[in-house]
C-alpha cells in the first residue's frame, strides 16, 4: 500500500517537473517577443507602419525603413525555393520509392551531412567559387540572351540576389529532401501495393503517393523556407549588401538577418539600435508564421492517416 | 581523513581568495582596429606589473555603450564620442570621459586594375565623385588627367565599401565629408552611411575580397590590413597638393600636422590634415577613461598603464602595423593622463 502511494507521488513529481521544463520553452518564446517589442518601442512609435514601407536606411540622418531588407529576405528565400524544391522532391522520391537499399542508406546519410555544414563554410565557398563562376560564365550569358527581361538586366557583379538564392538553395536542399523522404515513407505501403495490383506503372504509383503526401511535402517546403529566411552569414557574404529593391536577379540586395549582423555592433544612437531590433522582430514574426503554417499542415496530414 | 580534506579545501579557498585580491582585473571593451596592439600591451604590461586585463573587441559603438552603462573600467573607440554621448555618461556615471589617443591608423584606397599597374594617383575630388557615382568609368577625363602616362581602360568602376558598421568607414566618410560639399550635404559621416553606389563587404577581408575578385573595382581598407596582405593601393593628393603614399611615416606626419591645432580634449579628426607629407585619410584611435572613477585603486592602475603605453608601449606599434604617436601628441596625452583623479 505504502509503496504504491510512493510511486504515485513519484509519478506526479516526475510529470510536474517535465511539464515545468516544457513551459520553459513557452516562456522563452514569449520573453523573446516581449524583449524585442520593448527594445524596438522607440522605432515602433516613431516610424509606425511606415517602417515597413519606406526604403531609406540612413544611419547618419537617423531615418530607417525596412522594406529593402524585407524584400531581400523574401526574394532570396523564394528564389532558393524555386531552385531547391524540384531537386529536393526528386531526391526524396528516389530515396523512398526507387533507390535500392544499398544506395539509399549512404545517399540519405550524405544528404543529412550537408545540413550539418556550417553556413560560413557555404559563404566562403560562395565567395571563392560560386561568385567568380557566376560573374565570368553565367551572368554574361544571361545578360546576352535574356537581357531584355528586367529579371536579367544589369552588370555581372557575381555578388547579388542570384548568388544568394543559389547558396540558400544548396543549404535548404538537405532539409526539404530529408523531411520529404520521411513524409513519403510514412505513407502506408498498401497504397503503393494497391496501385501496382491495379496494373499501375511505377510512375503512376509514385504519383498516387505524391498526391497522398502533398500536405506533408508542403510542410517540408515551408520548413526549408523558414531556414532560408533566417540564414545570415552565407547570405551576407554573397548578396552584395546594398539596401535597394531591384527587379533584376543580378543586382545586389540585402536581407534582414544580414543587416542586423552587420550593423548592430556599431549602432550608436538609440533610434538606430531600436530600428535594428524592430527588424529582428519582423524577422521573428515571419519565421514564426512560416513555422506555424508548416506545423499545421504536417499535423493535419498525420491526423488524416490516423483516422483512416 | 575527512578532517584533512576539509582543511585542505579551506586552505585552497583562502589561497584562491588571496590571489584574486592581490591581482587586480581591469575590464575594457571597444574598437576592433587596435585590438592587436592592445593585446600585446596588456600582455607585456601585466607580466611586468601583475595587473590583469580583459579586453573585448566588440566594436567602437559597443565600447561607447558599455562606458555609458558603466559596465567596464575603460572603453576604446576609433570615432570620438559626440558631445551628447559625453553628456549622457556624465549623467549616468557622474564622471567626465577622457579621450587618450594611443596609436594611429589610416584608410587606404585599394583597387584592381591590372592595366594601371601600381601607384595610381587619386585626388579628393575624384575619390568623392567615384563614391557618389558621378565618375563611373576608369578612363574618365578627371582620372586620366592626374595619371598621365598610364593607359586607363574604358571599364566600369565597381565601387566597394564596408557593409558592417566600422571605425574605418567613419574615418573614410569623415574625409569625404571634409573634401566634398555634395557628400557633406547628401551623405554625411558615420560608422555606416547610406551609400549612393556600390557593393558592401563585411569587414576589411570582405571589401578586399570584393576588390580582388572584380576587375575594375575600388575599395577602402585599413592600412595595416593592406600592408599585411600585399594589396596595391593608391597615392592620395593631400591638402598641399602632393601625392602621398600611405605609410606609417606619412600617417604620423598627418598627426603632427594636426597637433598644432589640437583641441584640449584631444577629440580631433586628422583627415585632410595640413603638412606637406601628411597622408590625408588618417585617424587616431582612443582609449576612453573615466576621469573620476569610483574605485581609485583601479584609476591609479589605469593611469600607470597609460603612462607606460605612451612611452615603452609606442615601441611595439610599427611591428604590429600601427603608426606611433608623434612626440607632440605624446606630450599632450601625458598632460591629460595626469588629470585622472587617483586619490
DSSP readout, B162-179? Answer: ESS--HHHHHHHHHHHHH
Q: Are B36 and B227 in contact (CB under 8 A)?
A: no
Taking chain A, what is the end-to-end CA distance rounded to the nearest angstrom? Answer: 43
Q: Is A27 a domain residue?
A: no
- Which of B60, B164, B187 has the CB atom closest to A60's CB atom? B187
Q: How far is CA A168 from CA A73, A246, A284, B161, in A?
A: 11, 19, 19, 24
More confident residue, A296 or A231: A231
Q: Is A286 a domain residue?
A: yes
Contacts of A131 in chain B (CB under 8 A): 213
ipTM surpassing 0.90: no
Cross-strand bridge partners of residue B286: B77, B101
Q: Which residue has the cell 563611373?
A: B136
Q: Using the beta-carbon criterion (under 8 Å), do B191 and A155 form an inter-chain contact?
A: no
Identify the pLDDT of residue B8: 58
Identify the pLDDT of residue B21: 47
Q: Is A171 a domain residue?
A: yes
Taking chain B, what is the end-to-end CA distance rounded to the nearest angstrom? Answer: 50
Half-sphere exposure of B59 (CA within 13 A, CB side): 21
Q: B18 falls in which pLDDT band (50, 70, 90)?
A: very low
User: Reading across the β-sheet that carries B243-244, which strands appear in turn?
Assistant: B121-122, B235-237, B243-244
Q: How far is CA A207 from CA A97, A175, A184, B266, in A?
A: 11, 22, 11, 75
Identify the pLDDT of residue B131: 97
Mean pLDDT over B213-217 rounds to 89
- For residue A25, count other CB atoms closer than 10 A to its CB: 9
The closest of B279, B258, B322, B326 to B108, measured between CA atoms, is: B279
Task: List domains and CATH numbers for chain B.
Answer: 2-104+284-337 (3.40.190.10), 106-260 (3.40.190.10)
Residue B227 contacts by C-beta under 8 Å, 6 or more apart in sequence? B321
Interface test with B, best of A131, A266, A267 (most B CBs within 10 A): A266
- What is the DSSP-derived secondary structure letter of residue B283? E
Task: Show the CA angle centred on residue A258, arms to residues B206 and B222, nearest 5°.
Answer: 25
* Whether A232 contacts chain B with CB within 8 A: no
Mean pLDDT over A285-294 rounds to 85
The length of chain A in residues reads: 308
Q: Distance between CA A227 and CA A283 in Å, rounded?
A: 12
Q: Is A156 a domain residue?
A: yes
Q: Which residue has the cell 510512375?
A: A203
Q: A306 falls in which pLDDT band (50, 70, 90)?
A: low
Is beta strand B74-77 parallel, antiparallel or unpaired with respect to B282-290? antiparallel
Q: Using the beta-carbon criterion (under 8 Å), do A59 and B59 form an inter-chain contact?
A: no
Residue of A nearest to B169 (CA): A266
Identify the pLDDT of residue B340: 92
Q: How far is CA A80 from CA A7, A76, A120, in A?
A: 53, 6, 17
Q: Where are the beta strands (DSSP E) in B175-318?
A: 199-201, 217-222, 235-237, 243-244, 282-290
Q: Distance between CA B33 and CA B78 in Å, rounded?
A: 8
- Which of A58, A254, A262 has the CB atom closest to B165's CB atom? A262
Winning range, highest mean pLDDT, from A94-108, A271-285, B249-263:
A271-285
Q: How far is B200 from chain A (nearest CA, A)?
A: 5
Contacts of B202 in chain A (CB under 8 A): 236-237, 241, 261-262
Q: Distance between CA B80 and CA A5 in Å, rounded?
A: 70
Task: Show the CA angle centred on residue A226, arms to residues A224 and A227, nearest 5°.
Answer: 65
Q: Distance between CA B153 and CA B149 in Å, rounded?
A: 13
> For helices B327-337 and B248-259, what crossing angle results, to 10°?
60
Q: Distance between CA B65 and CA B78 in Å, rounded?
A: 14
Residue of B nearest to A267 (CA): B61
Give the CATH number of the domain where residue A153 resides. Answer: 1.10.3720.10
Q: How far is A66 from chain B (nearest CA, A)?
A: 13
- Domain assignment of residue A52, given as a range: 40-306
Q: Is A35 a domain residue?
A: no
Mean pLDDT over A42-66 rounds to 92
Q: Is A269 a domain residue?
A: yes
Q: A304 falls in which pLDDT band (50, 70, 90)?
A: low
Mean pLDDT over A139-167 rounds to 90
Q: Is A14 a domain residue?
A: no
Residue A85 contacts by C-beta under 8 Å, 6 or more apart in sequence? A176, A221
Domain count, chain A: 1
Mean per-residue pLDDT of chain B = 89
Q: Give me the percent of chain A exceeding a pLDDT of 90.
A: 56
Q: Are B97 and B86 in contact (CB under 8 A)?
A: yes
Q: Using the beta-carbon criterion (under 8 Å), do A135 and B198 form an inter-chain contact?
A: no
Say if residue A305's pLDDT is above 70: no
Mean pLDDT over A74-95 rounds to 94
Phi-psi region of B154 (alpha: psi -120 to 50; beta: other; left: phi over 0): beta
Q: How far is CA A134 from CA A129, A164, A224, B199, B307, in A?
A: 9, 11, 24, 16, 54
Q: Are B301 and B24 in contact (CB under 8 A)?
A: yes
Identify the pLDDT of residue A115: 85
Interface test with B, best of A133, A268, A277 (most B CBs within 10 A): A268
Q: Distance between CA B196 and CA B183 in Å, rounded?
A: 10
pTM, rounded to two decimals: 0.84
Helices (H) and strands (E) in chain B, counts: 13, 11
Say if residue A51's pLDDT is above 90: yes
- For residue A97, count other CB atoms closer than 10 A to its CB: 17
> For helices A270-307 and A214-230, what crossing angle results, to 10°?
160
Q: Which residue has the cell 540564414?
A: A231
Q: Is A87 a domain residue?
A: yes
Each residue of B53-93: pLDDT tens digit? Answer: 999 988 888 899 899 999 999 999 998 998 989 999 999 99
Helix then strand then coil, in percent of chain B rounded to 5, is: 45, 20, 35
Q: A308 falls in which pLDDT band (50, 70, 90)?
A: very low
Q: Distance between CA B98 and CA B302 in Å, rounded?
A: 12
Q: Are B154 and A19 in contact (CB under 8 A)?
A: no
Each residue of B108-141: pLDDT tens digit? Answer: 999 999 988 888 999 999 999 999 999 999 999 9
Q: A302 falls in which pLDDT band (50, 70, 90)?
A: low
Q: Give me the percent of chain B exceeding a pLDDT of 90.
A: 64
Say if residue B2's pLDDT is above 80: no
Amino acid at each position: 500500500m505504502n509503496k504504491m502511494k510512493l510511486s504515485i507521488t513519484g509519478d506526479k513529481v516526475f510529470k510536474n517537473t517535465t511539464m515545468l521544463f516544457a513551459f520553459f520553452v513557452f516562456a522563452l518564446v514569449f520573453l523573446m517577443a516581449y524583449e524585442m517589442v520593448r527594445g524596438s518601442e522607440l522605432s515602433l512609435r516613431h516610424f509606425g507602419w511606415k517602417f515597413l514601407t519606406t526604403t531609406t536606411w540612413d544611419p547618419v540622418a537617423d531615418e530607417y525603413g525596412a522594406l529593402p531588407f524585407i524584400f531581400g529576405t523574401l526574394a532570396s528565400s523564394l528564389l532558393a525555393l524555386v531552385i531547391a524544391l524540384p531537386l529536393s522532391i526528386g531526391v526524396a522520391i528516389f530515396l523512398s520509392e526507387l533507390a535500392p537499399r544499398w544506395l539509399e542508406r549512404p545517399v540519405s546519410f550524405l544528404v543529412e551531412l550537408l545540413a550539418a555544414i556550417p553556413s560560413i563554410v557555404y559563404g566562403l565557398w560562395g565567395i571563392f567559387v560560386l561568385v567568380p563562376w557566376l560573374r565570368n560564365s553565367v551572368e554574361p550569358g544571361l545578360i546576352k540572351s535574356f537581357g531584355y527581361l528586367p529579371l536579367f538586366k544589369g552588370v555581372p557583379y557575381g555578388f547579388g540576389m542570384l548568388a544568394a538564392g543559389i547558396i540558400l538553395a544548396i543549404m535548404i536542399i538537405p532539409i526539404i529532401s530529408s523531411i520529404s523522404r520521411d513524409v513519403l515513407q510514412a505513407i502506408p505501403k498498401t497504397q503503393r501495393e494497391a496501385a501496382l495490383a491495379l496494373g499501375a506503372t511505377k510512375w503512376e504509383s509514385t504519383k498516387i503517393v505524391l498526391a497522398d503526401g502533398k500536405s506533408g511535402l508542403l510542410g517540408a517546403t515551408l520548413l526549408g523556407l523558414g531556414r532560408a529566411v533566417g540564414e545570415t552569414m552565407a547570405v551576407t557574404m554573397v548578396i552584395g549588401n546594398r539596401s535597394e529593391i531591384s527587379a533584376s536577379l543580378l543586382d545586389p540586395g540585402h536581407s534582414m538577418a544580414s543587416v542586423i549582423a552587420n550593423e548592430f555592433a556599431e549602432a550608436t544612437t538609440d533610434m538606430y539600435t531600436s530600428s535594428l531590433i524592430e527588424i529582428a522582430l519582423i524577422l521573428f514574426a515571419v519565421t514564426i508564421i512560416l513555422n506555424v503554417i508548416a506545423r499545421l499542415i504536417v499535423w493535419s496530414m498525420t491526423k488524416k492517416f490516423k483516422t483512416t | 581523513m575527512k578532517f584533512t580534506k576539509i582543511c585542505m579545501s579551506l586552505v585552497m579557498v583562502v589561497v584562491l581568495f588571496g590571489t584574486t585580491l592581490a591581482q587586480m582585473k581591469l575590464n575594457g571593451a571597444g574598437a576592433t582596429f587596435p585590438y592587436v596592439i592592445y593585446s600585446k600591451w596588456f600582455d607585456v604590461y601585466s607580466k611586468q606589473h601583475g595587473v590583469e586585463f580583459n579586453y573585448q573587441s566588440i566594436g567602437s559603438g559597443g565600447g561607447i555603450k558599455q562606458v555609458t552603462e558603466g559596465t567596464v573600467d575603460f572603453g576604446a573607440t576609433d570615432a570620438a564620442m559626440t558631445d551628447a554621448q559625453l553628456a549622457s555618461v556624465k549623467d549616468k556615471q557622474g564622471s567626465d570621459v577622457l579621450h587618450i589617443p594611443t596609436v594611429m591608423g589610416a584608410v587606404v584606397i585599394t583597387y584592381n586594375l591590372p592595366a594601371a599597374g601600381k601607384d595610381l594617383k587619386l585626388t579628393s575630388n575624384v575619390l568623392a565623385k567615384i563614391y557618389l557615382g558621378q565618375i563611373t568609368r576608369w578612363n574618365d577625363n578627371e582620372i586620366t588627367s592626374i595619371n598621365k602616362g598610364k593607359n586607363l581602360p574604358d571599364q566600369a568602376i565597381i565601387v566597394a565599401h564596408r557593409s558592417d558598421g566600422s571605425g574605418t568607414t567613419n574615418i573614410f566618410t569623415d574625409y569625404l565629408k571634409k573634401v566634398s560639399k555634395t557628400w557633406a550635404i547628401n551623405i554625411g559621416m558615420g560608422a555606416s552611411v547610406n551609400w549612393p553606389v556600390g557593393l558592401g563587404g563585411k569587414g576589411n577581408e570582405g571589401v578586399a575580397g570584393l576588390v580582388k575578385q572584380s576587375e575594375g573595382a575600388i575599395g577602402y581598407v585599413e592600412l595595416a590590413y593592406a600592408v599585411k596582405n600585399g594589396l596595391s593601393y593608391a597615392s592620395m593628393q593631400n591638402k598641399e597638393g602632393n601625392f602621398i603614399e600611405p605609410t606609417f611615416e606619412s600617417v604620423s606626419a598627418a598627426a603632427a600636422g594636426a597637433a598644432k591645432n589640437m583641441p584640449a580634449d584631444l577629440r580631433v579628426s586628422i583627415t585632410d590634415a595640413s603638412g606637406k607629407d601628411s597622408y590625408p585619410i588618417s585617424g587616431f584611435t582612443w582609449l576612453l577613461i573615466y576621469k573620476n572613477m569610483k574605485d581609485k585603486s583601479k584609476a591609479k592602475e589605469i593611469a600607470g598603464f597609460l603612462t607606460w603605453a605612451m612611452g615603452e608601449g609606442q615601441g611595439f606599434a610599427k611591428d604590429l602595423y600601427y603608426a606611433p604617436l608623434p612626440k607632440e601628441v605624446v606630450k599632450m596625452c601625458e598632460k591629460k593622463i595626469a588629470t585622472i583623479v587617483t586619490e
